[in-house]
Structure 1
């Protein structure tokens, strides 16, 4: 059987097909299990900034609301694809960096401003949307694949060192070890079941049970939390910083590149057309939802490769399933007990789960760039971007200390430097210089990369 024919057989249930209510709930729940960023990123930000459990719990609620809103927009009239969106590492890094330097109010205020700017760049009216027309500059696998490797390497500094906590190091490390072992075992032997798709979540559950038995887990605050609450507008205050807006624009740019790759893959599986107008509609919906989410205090989102993998493995491509997942996420976001329960989970357990997640992010990037033909030009683009970006973590303190705090948060972040270098170098080298070199060599075309697949 040819590869093309196999690709056309990916979806057993088409994008526009409707399932029963029970099936929508079941398959929608599968997608929610893969949204690990909702459980991990807000807690890690809260731990780094020493926020109270109630504040962290609210941020988790806001992330559920943002996820649900964007997912409904994408599955509905905006994109009409089975896309599930969740908090992304790009915004996690950006909010963590800005929050520690200028405060969460300025971080989320600047994110909202950046979201409005990107919405204006993707107005889905005829040919007004700009981003859809510059897709080839931001979406090649060499760009967002290398960027994921950079992000994974940057985040390596967060996970492992927090396995031990500040007290009871033995119990903390043991609980972290149990969590990682459970996650790895479920990922290896879980097959195409809920055990593998929710491996990180199940690992957190088992690690928390272990910690509760041998340690001192405390969930007393959950009992006093309410069952329903509406989100607040700019709950951490409001501020705007131009350097932080730039930081958030770069995070949106990274999310755009990843999202467009997922859009293209889904339309190919579903036998649908993906033109610049549809790309603009999808990105406009994403930016609209993220902007509203930022107003409520939620992290920006992008299309999760894990959810695309669920679509491929299950063959269920109905956008009504992912729309159901979005509705479920919004419901969870309106229940304070859910957010506070997640915020009360043992820190070493969540750090252990995040370590695995960050490794998956890096290896996903490796999987993407494995499709690239590594000639000298592509080595220049990826190699220099990779090493310079990671090198920014080691800039001399006497140099960075002279810069404004908001500027420091940009130039010392590998992800942000990486997205600029990768897009810039790939544009110059592969889009401008390569065609000239091919003409001079007698019109012999050199392939730079082949389509990316999700395992």
Structure 2
């Protein structure tokens, strides 16, 4: 074993270390995981439970060989908000289930045919701009929360008071990201929310009555098919949410490459990318069965692995059990519910911008040449159709909108325009994937 590795994948930590090591992973994912349900009006408690259960399912499906934690996916925020407006939480669950099925089908295809087809389908010139659309499309939501926009009256209520809280939250998050070291550098969202919450409490924006009245133990508000609602299929919701799975597949592949490099193992080959994608899909399906947002692997938790050099799946599994337990603690949900929108708005200004910048970074890292007209055309069309909110009505109750339309147009343009190789750049993440496989095999 590499001497820099404190605990390898299958090593069990000592009892006196296990809890604190698992708590680190819990805190790393906590801020981002609860942010998604707060923004989309889903239950944060259910999101914690689905995150923990999804991670445990992922560990089983990957044969306990990949120490990855799964939490709420930011890529689905816009589609979930749109699906909520159409069919409420029940509609979101239909869309999440469909996205999970797409993951499963993709995993089977990769098992049978390899990964070249998905590499050809999703070049950086398509994935990068779509990721930018995800972030920039949410910009208005972040500002409305930060300045306390009231949709009923159509105006901002005490905007400067709330915006000042948002700016304090944002400042603390930025300072934590830049100046904090080690594990603390991985949880700037937690510090930002805590600092913003204290500021909001000082300004009288928080009522602690509901927190005091909340029970220590409670059953989260699960949304369960055939128990709490009867599923009704909606093609509109499916077309809003399902195409995002195509984009998150590319992100998932990137996460697996980073995780393989950090751990010094070839997770893409053993247990295989198909198992990893299937695990992600099953985790999302589990979320759809209980009312949680779609799940995905978390970069924050990969960062914890890189710093601690503790790769034990037992530590990650411990964090998953803790997340499930937190979901049943009423005080925790009450505290989360009491977080003002201004605090979440301040966090979102940074996070949504980072999502957009990540798409730009993908283009830069792959050295995409915008002097080539096809690249300029594909990215331009994706950005404007996605952010502008273009849609195509299919039937009276069915339309292809925004991000889904932008993704579809990008894939079609990539397929029909000449000079395809230019869309992969000089250092495509796909060729990097091939190189990594070869390097690991040689080692």
Q: 1:85 to 1:404 in 2, by over 3 A?
A: farther
- Could you tell me which residue of structure 1 aligns to residue 247 of structure 2? 254
Aligned positions of 1:42-81 closer than 5 A: 42-46=37-41, 56=42, 59-78=43-62, 80-81=65-66
Give yes or no for contact 2:52–2:320 (8 Å, CA) kept in 1: yes
Please point out which of 289, 294, 306 is paired with 2:288.
294
TM-score, normalised via structure 2 length: 0.82
- Could you tell me which residue of structure 1 aligns to residue 256 of structure 2? 263
**Where does structure 1 lack aligned partners over 5 or more consecutive residues?**
1-7, 47-55, 438-444
Distance 1:377 1:24 in 2: 53
Distance 1:250 1:446 in 2: 24
Greater shift after overlay, 136-145 or 365-374? Answer: 136-145
Distance 1:250 1:23 in 2: 42
TM-score, normalised via structure 1 length: 0.80
What's the CA shift string for 1:161-214, capped at 9, x where partnerless?
3222143333212211211111111112111232x2211111111111111112
Greater shift after overlay, 238-247 or 416-425? Answer: 416-425
1:109 Cα deviation (Å)?
2.1
Please point out which of 183, 199, 208 is paired with 1:219.
208
Aligned positions of 1:301-380 closer than 5 A: 301-375=295-369, 380=374
Give yes or no for contact 1:14–1:317 (8 Å, CA) kept in 2: yes
Residue aligned with 2:421, SS: helix
- Could you tell me which residue of structure 1 aligns to residue 36 of structure 2? 41
Greater shift after overlay, 356-365 or 223-232? Answer: 223-232
- Could you tell me which residue of structure 2 aligns to residue 137 of structure 1? 120
Residue aligned with 1:302, SS: strand
What RMSD in Å do the two structures reach over aligned CA positions? 3.3
- Could you tell me which residue of structure 1 aligns to residue 69 of structure 2? 84
Say whether 1:148 aligns with 2:137. no
Aligned positions of 1:111-126 closer than 5 A: 111-123=96-108
Q: 1:360 to 1:114 in 2, by over 3 A?
A: closer
Number of aligned residues = 416
- Could you tell me which residue of structure 1 aligns to residue 426 of structure 2? 447
Q: 1:25 to 1:137 in 2, by over 3 A?
A: farther
- Could you tell me which residue of structure 1 aligns to residue 172 of structure 2? 182
Please point out which of 273, 276, 282 is paired with 1:279.
273
Give yes or no for contact 1:183–1:203 (8 Å, CA) kept in 2: yes
Say whether 1:21 aligns with 2:15. yes
Distance 1:209 1:364 in 2: 30
Distance 2:123 2:394 in 1: 36
